[in-house]
A = this chain, B = another copy of it.
Amino acid sequence: MTHDEHQLAGAYLSRVIEGPSRPLQEHLAQGRSLEELAQAVKNREEWLGPELLRQTASRWDWDRAGEDLDEAERHGFRLLSAQSKEWPEEQFTVAFGYAATGLSSRPRTYREDAVRPHALWVKGQSLRTLTQQALAVVGTRALSAYGAEATRMIVRDMIQHQWTIVSGGALGADAVAHRCAVEAGAATIAVAACGPGVNYPAAHAELFRSIAERGALVSEYPPLLRPARHRFLTRNRLVAALSQGTVVVEAAWRSGALSTLTWAQAFGRVAMAVPGPVTSVASLGCHDKIRRGDAQLVTSGADIRSLLSTLGGLDVDQQYELQFAPDEVQRLSPAELKVFDALSEHKGTETEALASEAGLPLALTVHALMTLQQRGLCRREGITWRRIRHSGAAA
C-alpha cells in the first residue's frame, strides 16, 4: 500500500517518540511540519535541540512507518494529525491552551506532559464530532455494586442528553460506562494505553469492536505497542483533554483513576466526583478530592450538566448572575449556542445543514434545536428551522 508523505512522517514520529513530547510540540507550534521534523530527526539535525535529540536517540533509525500504517489499517485504524478534519482541535486548544497558561497548580509531571499528541490512531467515528459534548467517566477497576449502579445512573442520563462518554477501556468503572453507552446505542470513546491491534484487557475485545461502531477507539501509541505503567498516566491525559469534564464515579484512597481528575484540573476542565457510603473504603478517594476542593460533588447527570453548561466553571455569584440574566441566549450551552448561531432569521435551514454548519453530530443538533424551540429561540417550519428574533442576540 502507498501512503503520502504526511502520513508516513506522522507514523514515523509516533513510533520514534512515544507519547507526548514538549520539544516536538514547540517546533510544531513554530510552524514546522511533521514531514520537516521527521526528516530532521532522521538526519539528527542540531536545530532540533538537545532534548528532542535525546528523546529520539534510541529509535531515530527505526523507520517502519509504512508497515505501521498497513498494520493499523488491518485493525481498522487510521492516523490523525493536527491537519486532519477529524482532529479534535477545539478540545485540544482549550485543554492544552489552559495548561500552557501555567494557571494550574498541578504537579510538575502533569505540566511536563501537558502537551498535545503529535499523532492519534483512531478507529470509528470522527473524534472532532464525538467530542463536541463529551464527559469523561472514570473510576476504580474494583468497582462495587454501588459504584456500578451510580455509574449506570449517570451514564444513562448523560447519553439521553446526547453526551459522548469518554473513558479508558479498563476493567471496572470504565467498562461499565462504555457498556452502558454501547447497549443504549450511544457514542462512547475508549482511549487505550496500548497501540492499535492490542486488545487490553483481552476480555474487552468484543466491547472494543462495539465501541468503534458508533464511537471511537483512540490511541497515541503505534500499532501493537503493549500497555505499560507510564502509558496509563499519559492515556489519562487524553481522556481528560477529549472531554469538557471528568467525573470519578468511585475511587479508593490514591486510586489511579484520580489521576484523570488531576489532568482535568490541569486543563481547566470541570473535575467532579460522586460521593458514596462512608461505611466502605470504596469512595474514599472521591470524598478526599471533594473535601480538598479538587472535585465538585455531583449526584446525578443533571448536576453534571449544570456544571458543564455555560454556567460551568463560574463561582456561585456568577452562576446566579447568569441564571437570572434577562438574556435567554446567555443561558445556552456551548452546543446550543453553536446551533443558534447556525440558524438564520431570514430563511429556514434543514437540520443536516445546521449540523454541518455547527460542526455537531445530527442527534445533538436535534436535541439542541428542541431546547432552543422550548425557549422560544427558534421555530420549526416543515423540514427546516428558523431563528426567532431575540432582543439579546447579536445582530
Q: Which residues of A contact B (CB under 8 A)?
A: 146, 149-150, 153, 274-279, 283-284, 287, 290-293, 296-300, 303, 316
Contact = CB atoms under 8 A, between A and B. Distances in A.
Contact of A277 (B277, B287, B296, B316): B277
Given A275-B297, A293-B316, 9 more contacts: A146-B277, A146-B279, A274-B278, A275-B278, A277-B277, A278-B299, A290-B290, A291-B297, A291-B298
Contact of A299 (B149, B284, B300): B284
A276 B153 CA distance: 15
A298 B297 CA distance: 13
Contacts of A146: 277, 279
B278 A300 contact: yes
A115 B378 CA distance: 55
Nearest to A307: B291
Given A292-B316, A316-B292, A275 B287 contact: yes
Q: Which of A146, A275, A284, A298 has the most CB of B within 10 A?
A: A275
Contact of A296 (B153, B278, B291): B291
Contact of A149 (B150, B279, B283): B279
A287 B297 CA distance: 7
A290 B149 CA distance: 22
A152 to B, nearest CB: 9
A299 B291 CA distance: 10
Contacts of A290: 275, 290, 297
A149 B280 CA distance: 11
Nearest to A146: B277
A146 B283 CA distance: 14
A298 B275 CA distance: 11
Nearest to A315: B293
A150 B279 contact: yes
Contacts of A292: 316
17 contacts: A146-B279, A150-B277, A150-B278, A153-B278, A274-B278, A275-B278, A275-B287, A275-B290, A275-B297, A276-B276, A278-B299, A278-B300, A284-B299, A287-B299, A291-B297, A293-B316, A297-B297
A240 B299 CA distance: 27
Nearest to A153: B279
Nearest to A299: B278
- Nearest 6 pairs between A and B by C-beta? A275-B275, A278-B299, A291-B297, A149-B279, A287-B299, A290-B297
Contact of A276 (B278, B296, B303): B278
A247 B279 CA distance: 16
A262 B299 CA distance: 22
A296 B150 CA distance: 22
Contacts of A283: 275
A283 B297 CA distance: 13
A305 to B, nearest CB: 14
A278 B150 CA distance: 7
A131 B284 CA distance: 31
A145 to B, nearest CB: 10
Nearest to A276: B277
A178 B296 CA distance: 33
A318 to B, nearest CB: 14
A297 B153 CA distance: 23
A121 B228 CA distance: 68
Contacts of A150: 277-279
A79 to B, nearest CB: 40
